[in-house]
Amino acid sequence: MNLSPSVSEVRDFQVSAEGRLQQELASQAVGVTLRSVTKKYGSFTAVEDIDLDIPAGSYTCLLGPSGCGKTTTLRMIAGHEDITSGDLLIGNQRVNDLPPTQRNTAMMFQSYALFPHKTVWENVEFGLKMRNVPKSERVQRVNEVIEVVGLSKFVDRKPAKLSGGQQQRAALARALVTRPQVLLLDEPLSALDENLRVKTRSELRRLQKQFGMTFIQVTHGQDEAFALSDQIVVMDHGRIDQIGKPDEIFATPASRFVARFVGDNNIFVGKVTQVSPALKGCIVTLEVDRVGQFLCRGQSAEVGMTAACCVRSDCMTLKPYPPADVTAPNQLTARVTAIEFTGYVTRVSLMTEATTEEITYKVRSYDWSANPAQEGQLVTLSWTTENCIFLPH
């Protein structure tokens, strides 16, 4: 008598397991709110007076360089760091004084933190055992989540026998099995090679959408943040510099820091000489000493203030010098200093003639090969007002 399940029975179990898990996780997803949150270590302020709303069921990335406060913020949400001042709410509950085990969150660490002496099954089960979940329920829940992340063939393997991607999925399964309201991810893809990183981030995004959970992830990679997020929070020196959707952050950086950190922007500092109302915001005239007059789009500005503008390296047009109209705005003269073929894109480094400021220009390699410039050649770079973004600070 054959007691083994049929292929259709296994498929039905997978579908029902996934459906049950999806329904339970989506129904309890909550938002996270930070109000005037500060974290100090003695005289050092790691996070300063931040306000942040993370919607329920969204994927939010905390983006910024090392030391900007993003990991400290994540650890405060998890309860691994105390808040010096301010309020932290998960859903409608203030959790400042609650230990991590009572916040109904789960943390997925950068190193995965899998127990090397335990199998995949034992690693996934561990959190439930610590919560004294009955054995029959543990078996059902571990079975469900292992099927969902595709590790059913590896339940008896220990971490050393798993690939990087399989270890990542085991860590994700261990986090999901506790049915958290919020999943916190501390640079979970940094240990993977490039190809696996791209594949795994797609899997993370698919799972987040599928289960409707609230994901909050720390990353210093802008490509990762753009690919994953509903909302990006750009941090610098313990403060939030800009919050927005990925396309907003990329297309309209709000500060010089954000412009430098994302989008591969060229930044020019000058003095505002004119502000004209426009359909959306205003058109700002910025005089950049010994370089030129730039027209840029912004929200507000004052004549006489020192400010900056930025132009993405792929939004410029490169033509031989001299230009047809030497008095036209939004153009400058520069000399090609280096040409770097990177595959699909060719990166051109230039230096302005008047100020020796470094400029970067990017173009499709196919287009560059049709009309290339040479190192040492003098060229004109130009761009539209629409692609020139005013940076008030």
Residue 343 region by backbone torsions, left for phi larger than 0, else alpha for psi between -120 and 50, else beta: left
Residues 264-273 pLDDT 10s: 899 999 999 9
Percent of the chain whose predicted confidence (pLDDT) is above 70: 93
Note the pLDDT of residue 1. Answer: 46
Q: Do domains 7-250 and 264-391 have the same CATH topology?
A: no
The pLDDT-based confidence of 198 (bands split at 50, 70, 90) is: confident
Task: Reply yes or no on whether the pLDDT at 24 is more than 70.
Answer: no
**pTM, entire model:** 0.85
Task: Reply yes or no on whether the pLDDT at 162 is more than 70.
Answer: yes
Note the pLDDT of residue 23. Answer: 67
Listed by start position, the domains of the chain span 7-250, 264-391
Residues 323-353 pLDDT 10s: 878 788 999 999 999 999 999 999 999 999 8
C-beta of residue 389 within 8 angstroms of C-beta of residue 297: yes
Query: In whole angstroms, what is the distance from residue 306 CA to residue 14 CA?
Result: 61
Spatial strand order of the sheet with 378-382 comes to: 317-320, 378-382, 331-341, 345-352, 358-364
Q: Provide the mean pLDDT of the chain.
A: 89
Place of tokens 């179990």: 13
Residues 66-121 pLDDT 10s: 999 999 999 999 999 999 999 999 999 999 999 998 998 988 877 778 899 999 99
As to burial, measured by CB atoms within 10 angstroms (0-12 exposed, 13-18 middle, 19+ buried), residue 91 is middle
The sign of the torsion formed by the CA atoms of 98, 100, 101, 102 equals positive
Q: How far is CA 251 from the centre of its chain?
A: 15
116-120, 145-149, 218-222, 378-382, range with the lowest pLDDT: 145-149
CATH number belonging to domain 7-250: 3.40.50.300
Note the pLDDT of residue 4. Answer: 47
State both tokens at 297. 């789009």
Report how far apart, in Å, the C-alpha atoms of 337 and of each of 266, 358, 374 are.
Answer: 16, 9, 9
The pLDDT-based confidence of 261 (bands split at 50, 70, 90) is: very high
Query: In whole angstroms, what is the distance from residue 214 CA to residue 205 CA?
Result: 11
Pick the CATH number of 264-391 from 2.60.40.10, 3.30.930.10, 3.10.20.30, 2.40.50.100: 2.40.50.100
- The better pLDDT of the pair 391, 4 is held by 391
- Give the start-end residues of each E strand in 42-103: 44-54, 59-63, 85-90, 93-94
Note the pLDDT of residue 361. Answer: 97
C-beta of residue 40 within 8 angstroms of C-beta of residue 81: no
Residues 204-222 pLDDT 10s: 888 888 888 899 999 988 9
Percent of the chain whose predicted confidence (pLDDT) is above 90: 62
Average pLDDT for residues 274-281, to the nearest whole number? Answer: 90
State both tokens at 183. 């999943």
